[in-house]
Amino acid sequence: MAILLRAAMAAVPALALTALAASPAAAWPGPSARVTSTATLPSIPLSQFGVADDRGVKLGGIGSDIFPTGRPGEYWTITDRGPNGQIAIGSEKRRTFPTPDFNPVIVKVRAAGGVLKVEQTIPITTATGKPVTGLPNQLPHDEQPYTYNAATPLSINPNGLDTEGIVRAADGTFWLADEYGPSLVHVSARGRVLARYTPIGLGLTGTDYPVIEAFPAIYASRKINRGFEGLGLLPGGDLVIGLQSPLLVPNKAAGETSLTTRLLRFSTRTGKVTAEYAYQFAPVSVVDPGQTNPAELKLSSIVGIGPNTVLVQERTDQAARLYLADLRKATNLLGGRYDDPTTTPSLEQDASTVKLAPKVLVLDLNTVPGTQKKIEGVAVVNPWTIALINDNDFGMTDGPAAFDAAGRLVDSGIKTTLVTVKLTHRLH
């Protein structure tokens, strides 16, 4: 961990910072890149993770995020809430949980010889050691869960987590980003939830762990399944948390068409938010040529680079780009008018009155042969090397054809793959 923190303390090159100051949309000269290694997760039945009936589902979803352990080829990863899909019943799209007893888990993996080997698993548990599960927390803030065929409603669980981002602190504890609240979850080295930080006024009760309302109330207006996704660790221990998509403020239509999402800076020392920034996506047709719907844009990964600099991934399910963003030059919105949902126009509708976090393009992954689709985890291994991991959704697809007549998974065939990419210019 000390090695990682020293690497993160390295300054962003003067060339990059000059470009950031000059033009937020500029691309600094380099780096281009090439894939140097690929490792694939073998088929591991989900029954090995305490699931009573895995319906033929294999371990997957560990590509929700990735964080280096400090040892060559070794990483911490995190699953999301588990296998889930959608089935249309009339005009309603129902969220299915084919293995409702699945429990989110931290997975340590090692890439060697083309294989992504599982070395350690740490289930996420409540204060009394019970599985948190991946079930939604409260209605109607979250979706009603259903069985695999969308026929029968399932119970909700206030403890449930849809984990997406992971970092490991210097003290050995983990911090996780969650999409439900959205929330930030502090977890012990053994996986026990120490505290869950949520938006003010969310009113989450009935949990078997402490809940602290810490984020601006407006964050409860996140789009369903698009809460906190990116999580980066800065030198000194602060976190940068990113919303996957713009807030639905003042309404769904505004959020679906907006290009402006938000980043929060959180002090792990005080347990408080210290800053809030506006971050603007590139046009969807730039990130993913041929795509026209801005709602397909997602912020899926954040990596702390310097004291105020982060690497941000913008993606669709088919394409991705990496940008270097400088938080020093962005307006601190915390506690201001854009945290008030009655402000018209909202930040999501018009961000022209604030200074966005300026950014420069580092790498267009569409131009790097051998990289995956639906990359959700990005790690900086060293100034010359990055690692990418995809979310394979546990091999699930949407619709009634996801399972056969016997209720067994019809696997998509998409594997969890970790790819190492060598840059031709130093990242920091």
Going from the first residue of the chain to its last (428 residues), give the mean pLDDT of each consecutive group of 10, the final group possibly shorter: 36 36 44 90 96 97 97 97 96 96 98 97 97 98 97 98 97 98 98 98 98 98 96 96 98 97 98 98 96 96 96 97 96 98 98 96 94 97 96 96 96 97 88
| pLDDT score at 428 | 75
Residues 6+ apart with CB under 8 A from 109: 41, 62, 74, 75, 77, 116, 117, 118, 119, 418
Query: What is the pTM for the complete model shown?
Result: 0.92
Comparing C-alpha atoms, which of 225, 226, 208, 197 is closest to residue 157? Answer: 208
Give the count of beta carbons closer than 10 Å to the beta carbon of residue 106. Answer: 24
CA angle 186, 244, 56 (to 5 degrees): 75
Looking at this protein, which amino acid is placed at residue 250? P
122 contact partners, CB below 8 Å, separation of at least 6: 105, 106, 107, 108, 189, 190, 191
- Tell me the pairing of strands 145-146 and 92-96: parallel
Instruction: Return the pLDDT at 425.
Output: 84
Q: How far is CA 271 from CA 92, 204, 274, 319, in A?
A: 39, 18, 9, 35
The 3-state DSSP class for residue 257 equals helix
Please state whether beta strands 105-112 and 92-96 pair in parallel, antiparallel, or not at all (unpaired).
Answer: unpaired
Say if strands 163-168 and 298-306 run parallel, antiparallel, or are unpaired.
unpaired
Asked if 362 contacts 409 with a C-beta cutoff of 8 angstroms, the reply is no
Task: Check residue 29 and give its pLDDT.
Answer: 52
What pLDDT sits at residue 380? 97
Count of alpha carbons within 13 Å of 384, Cβ hemisphere only? 4
| Token code pair at residue 134 | 């991946």
Rounded Cα distance between 98 and 276, Å, is 37
| Cis ω before 182 (30° cut-off from 0) | yes
For residue 306, what are the β-bridge partners?
Answer: 309
